[in-house]
Amino acid sequence: PVTLSLLSPQAFPLRSLRRRQPTLLVACGPAQNGAVGLVCARHLRSFDYEPTIFYPKRSPDPLHRDFTTQCEKMDIPFLSYLPTEVQLINDAYNAVVDAVLGAEGTQGTEGTEPCAAILTTLRHVRIPIVSLDVPSGWLPGPVGGSGDISPDVLVSLAAPKEVARRFRGRRHFLAGRFVPEELRRKFGLSPPEYPGSDCVVAL
Protein backbone atom coordinates (compact mmCIF):
# COMPACT_ATOMS: atom_id res chain seq x y z
CA PRO A 1 0.00 0.00 0.00
CA VAL A 2 2.83 2.44 0.61
CA THR A 3 3.83 2.78 -2.99
CA LEU A 4 0.36 2.62 -4.36
CA SER A 5 -0.79 6.04 -3.39
CA LEU A 6 1.59 8.05 -5.47
CA LEU A 7 -0.57 7.72 -8.54
CA SER A 8 -3.79 9.68 -8.67
CA PRO A 9 -2.13 13.06 -9.04
CA GLN A 10 -0.49 11.96 -12.27
CA ALA A 11 -3.86 11.56 -13.88
CA PHE A 12 -5.38 14.68 -12.44
CA PRO A 13 -2.78 17.32 -11.78
CA LEU A 14 -4.04 19.86 -9.26
CA ARG A 15 -4.24 22.66 -11.78
CA SER A 16 -6.48 20.67 -14.12
CA LEU A 17 -9.31 20.18 -11.67
CA ARG A 18 -12.49 21.95 -12.61
CA ARG A 19 -13.69 22.97 -9.22
CA ARG A 20 -11.90 25.63 -7.22
CA GLN A 21 -11.21 23.21 -4.38
CA PRO A 22 -9.27 20.06 -5.33
CA THR A 23 -11.88 17.82 -3.78
CA LEU A 24 -11.94 14.08 -4.30
CA LEU A 25 -14.27 11.40 -2.99
CA VAL A 26 -12.54 8.19 -1.96
CA ALA A 27 -14.96 5.28 -1.66
CA CYS A 28 -13.43 2.48 0.42
CA GLY A 29 -14.72 -1.05 0.65
CA PRO A 30 -14.39 -3.34 3.68
CA ALA A 31 -11.31 -5.27 2.65
CA GLN A 32 -7.83 -4.86 1.20
CA ASN A 33 -8.85 -2.65 -1.70
CA GLY A 34 -10.47 -0.27 0.76
CA ALA A 35 -7.32 -0.18 2.85
CA VAL A 36 -5.34 0.83 -0.22
CA GLY A 37 -7.90 3.60 -0.71
CA LEU A 38 -7.25 4.85 2.83
CA VAL A 39 -3.50 5.04 2.23
CA CYS A 40 -4.12 6.74 -1.10
CA ALA A 41 -6.37 9.33 0.57
CA ARG A 42 -3.69 10.16 3.11
CA HIS A 43 -1.05 10.77 0.45
CA LEU A 44 -3.50 12.79 -1.62
CA ARG A 45 -4.00 14.96 1.42
CA SER A 46 -0.26 15.52 1.77
CA PHE A 47 -0.19 16.46 -1.91
CA ASP A 48 -2.70 19.22 -1.08
CA TYR A 49 -5.79 17.59 -2.51
CA GLU A 50 -8.93 17.61 -0.37
CA PRO A 51 -10.05 14.02 -0.13
CA THR A 52 -13.21 12.94 1.63
CA ILE A 53 -13.62 9.31 2.51
CA PHE A 54 -16.71 7.14 2.44
CA TYR A 55 -15.91 3.98 4.40
CA PRO A 56 -19.20 2.50 5.53
CA LYS A 57 -18.08 -1.00 6.48
CA ARG A 58 -14.84 -0.84 8.37
CA SER A 59 -12.38 -3.67 8.46
CA PRO A 60 -11.55 -4.97 11.95
CA ASP A 61 -7.96 -5.60 10.86
CA PRO A 62 -5.66 -3.61 13.20
CA LEU A 63 -3.54 -2.39 10.30
CA HIS A 64 -6.62 -1.06 8.51
CA ARG A 65 -7.86 0.54 11.73
CA ASP A 66 -4.52 2.33 12.00
CA PHE A 67 -4.85 3.56 8.43
CA THR A 68 -8.22 4.99 9.43
CA THR A 69 -6.72 6.77 12.44
CA GLN A 70 -3.96 8.20 10.29
CA CYS A 71 -6.56 9.65 7.94
CA GLU A 72 -8.65 11.05 10.76
CA LYS A 73 -5.58 12.68 12.25
CA MET A 74 -4.85 14.30 8.91
CA ASP A 75 -8.27 15.93 9.16
CA ILE A 76 -9.69 13.94 6.29
CA PRO A 77 -13.47 13.92 6.71
CA PHE A 78 -15.36 10.63 6.70
CA LEU A 79 -18.88 10.80 5.29
CA SER A 80 -21.52 9.12 7.39
CA TYR A 81 -23.63 8.40 4.36
CA LEU A 82 -23.36 8.64 0.61
CA PRO A 83 -25.93 10.94 -0.97
CA THR A 84 -28.28 9.03 -3.23
CA GLU A 85 -28.74 12.23 -5.19
CA VAL A 86 -25.89 11.75 -7.62
CA GLN A 87 -25.87 15.40 -8.64
CA LEU A 88 -24.67 16.30 -5.16
CA ILE A 89 -21.59 14.15 -5.71
CA ASN A 90 -21.04 15.56 -9.20
CA ASP A 91 -21.15 19.05 -7.74
CA ALA A 92 -19.01 18.50 -4.70
CA TYR A 93 -16.11 16.47 -6.06
CA ASN A 94 -13.78 16.55 -9.05
CA ALA A 95 -13.40 12.80 -9.22
CA VAL A 96 -14.13 9.60 -7.32
CA VAL A 97 -11.48 7.10 -6.31
CA ASP A 98 -13.03 3.64 -6.46
CA ALA A 99 -11.36 1.53 -3.78
CA VAL A 100 -14.46 -0.51 -3.08
CA LEU A 101 -14.06 -4.08 -4.24
CA GLY A 102 -10.96 -4.39 -6.36
CA ALA A 103 -9.85 -7.90 -7.14
CA GLU A 104 -11.98 -9.34 -4.31
CA GLY A 105 -15.06 -8.24 -6.20
CA THR A 106 -14.46 -10.71 -8.94
CA GLN A 107 -15.62 -13.38 -6.59
CA GLY A 108 -19.13 -12.05 -6.83
CA THR A 109 -19.49 -10.26 -3.50
CA GLU A 110 -20.80 -7.15 -5.14
CA GLY A 111 -24.36 -7.91 -4.19
CA THR A 112 -23.77 -7.35 -0.51
CA GLU A 113 -24.54 -4.04 1.13
CA PRO A 114 -23.29 -1.43 1.35
CA CYS A 115 -21.09 -2.06 -1.68
CA ALA A 116 -24.10 -2.61 -3.90
CA ALA A 117 -25.40 0.85 -3.08
CA ILE A 118 -22.01 2.45 -3.71
CA LEU A 119 -21.79 0.71 -7.06
CA THR A 120 -25.22 1.94 -8.06
CA THR A 121 -24.09 5.47 -7.33
CA LEU A 122 -20.82 4.98 -9.20
CA ARG A 123 -22.76 3.88 -12.24
CA HIS A 124 -24.50 7.22 -12.38
CA VAL A 125 -21.88 9.81 -11.47
CA ARG A 126 -20.72 12.08 -14.25
CA ILE A 127 -17.35 12.91 -12.75
CA PRO A 128 -14.32 10.77 -13.57
CA ILE A 129 -13.75 7.55 -11.65
CA VAL A 130 -10.26 6.29 -10.79
CA SER A 131 -10.43 2.57 -10.04
CA LEU A 132 -7.81 0.84 -7.96
CA ASP A 133 -6.74 -2.48 -9.41
CA VAL A 134 -10.08 -3.72 -10.69
CA PRO A 135 -13.11 -1.53 -11.40
CA SER A 136 -15.48 -2.51 -8.62
CA GLY A 137 -18.14 -4.90 -9.73
CA TRP A 138 -16.37 -6.06 -12.87
CA LEU A 139 -16.52 -9.84 -13.11
CA PRO A 140 -14.02 -11.97 -15.04
CA GLY A 141 -14.75 -12.76 -18.67
CA PRO A 142 -14.12 -11.40 -22.12
CA VAL A 143 -17.26 -9.30 -22.21
CA GLY A 144 -18.42 -7.07 -19.42
CA GLY A 145 -21.83 -6.83 -17.87
CA SER A 146 -24.26 -4.07 -18.77
CA GLY A 147 -24.03 -2.70 -15.24
CA ASP A 148 -20.27 -2.29 -15.27
CA ILE A 149 -18.95 1.06 -14.11
CA SER A 150 -16.79 2.97 -16.58
CA PRO A 151 -13.73 4.35 -14.90
CA ASP A 152 -11.71 7.07 -16.57
CA VAL A 153 -8.47 5.86 -15.03
CA LEU A 154 -7.40 2.40 -13.95
CA VAL A 155 -4.42 1.83 -11.69
CA SER A 156 -3.35 -1.79 -11.85
CA LEU A 157 -1.57 -2.93 -8.71
CA ALA A 158 1.47 -5.19 -9.05
CA ALA A 159 0.31 -6.40 -12.46
CA PRO A 160 -2.73 -5.79 -14.65
CA LYS A 161 -5.58 -8.14 -13.88
CA GLU A 162 -7.35 -10.13 -16.52
CA VAL A 163 -10.33 -7.80 -16.62
CA ALA A 164 -8.02 -4.88 -17.45
CA ARG A 165 -8.20 -6.07 -21.02
CA ARG A 166 -11.73 -4.64 -21.15
CA PHE A 167 -10.67 -1.24 -19.86
CA ARG A 168 -11.52 1.51 -22.31
CA GLY A 169 -10.91 4.57 -20.21
CA ARG A 170 -8.45 7.37 -20.77
CA ARG A 171 -5.43 6.27 -18.76
CA HIS A 172 -4.16 2.98 -17.48
CA PHE A 173 -1.34 3.10 -14.96
CA LEU A 174 0.66 0.27 -13.47
CA ALA A 175 1.88 0.59 -9.91
CA GLY A 176 4.10 -2.43 -9.65
CA ARG A 177 7.62 -1.28 -9.21
CA PHE A 178 7.87 -3.07 -5.89
CA VAL A 179 7.52 -6.51 -7.47
CA PRO A 180 10.93 -8.22 -7.32
CA GLU A 181 12.50 -9.26 -10.61
CA GLU A 182 12.47 -12.93 -9.65
CA LEU A 183 8.75 -12.89 -9.04
CA ARG A 184 8.09 -11.09 -12.29
CA ARG A 185 9.97 -13.70 -14.23
CA LYS A 186 8.23 -16.51 -12.39
CA PHE A 187 4.85 -15.21 -13.49
CA GLY A 188 5.98 -14.18 -16.93
CA LEU A 189 5.27 -10.53 -16.36
CA SER A 190 7.10 -8.14 -18.62
CA PRO A 191 6.42 -4.66 -17.37
CA PRO A 192 7.45 -1.55 -19.21
CA GLU A 193 10.27 0.67 -17.99
CA TYR A 194 9.39 2.93 -15.10
CA PRO A 195 10.54 6.48 -15.76
CA GLY A 196 13.33 7.63 -13.44
CA SER A 197 12.43 6.92 -9.86
CA ASP A 198 8.66 6.98 -10.45
CA CYS A 199 6.67 4.17 -8.92
CA VAL A 200 3.92 4.27 -11.51
CA VAL A 201 4.08 4.00 -15.26
CA ALA A 202 1.46 4.85 -17.85
CA LEU A 203 0.60 1.85 -20.00
Partner 1 sequence: QEEAQAIDQELFTEYKFSVDQLMELAGLSCATAIAKAYPPSSFTTSQPAVLVVCGPGNNGGDGLVCARHLKMFGYQPTVYYPKRSSKPLFEGLTTQCNKMDIPFLPEFPAEAEFIDELYGLVVDAIFGFSFTGAVREPFGSILSTLERVTVPIASIDIPSGWDVEKGKADGLQPDMLISLTAPKKAAMHFTGRYHFLGGRFVPPALQEKYSLNLPEYPGTDCVLQLT
Q: Which residues bind partner 1 (CB under 8 A)?
A: 2-3, 6, 9-10, 13, 43, 46-47, 63, 65-66, 69-70, 73-75, 177-178, 180-182, 194, 196-197
Q: Name which of 128, 126, 117 is nearest 17 in CA terms.
A: 128
Q: Where are the alpha helices (DSSP H) in the chain?
A: 8-11, 32-46, 62-73, 86-92, 115-124, 181-186
Nearer to partner 1, 69 or 87 (CB): 69
Q: How far is the CB of 191 from partner 1 (least distance, A)?
A: 11
Nearer to partner 1, 11 or 149 (CB): 11
Nearer to partner 1, 9 or 144 (CB): 9
Nearer to partner 1, 45 or 161 (CB): 45
Question: What are the C-alpha distances in Å from 183 to residues 158, 175, 178?
Answer: 11, 15, 10
Q: How far is the CB of 190 from partner 1 (least distance, A)?
A: 16
Give the Cα separation of 132 and 99 in Å (integer): 6
Query: 66 CB contacts (<8 Å, ≥6 apart)?
Result: none
Q: How far is the CB of 70 from partner 1 (least distance, A)?
A: 6
Q: How far is the CB of 72 from partner 1 (least distance, A)?
A: 9
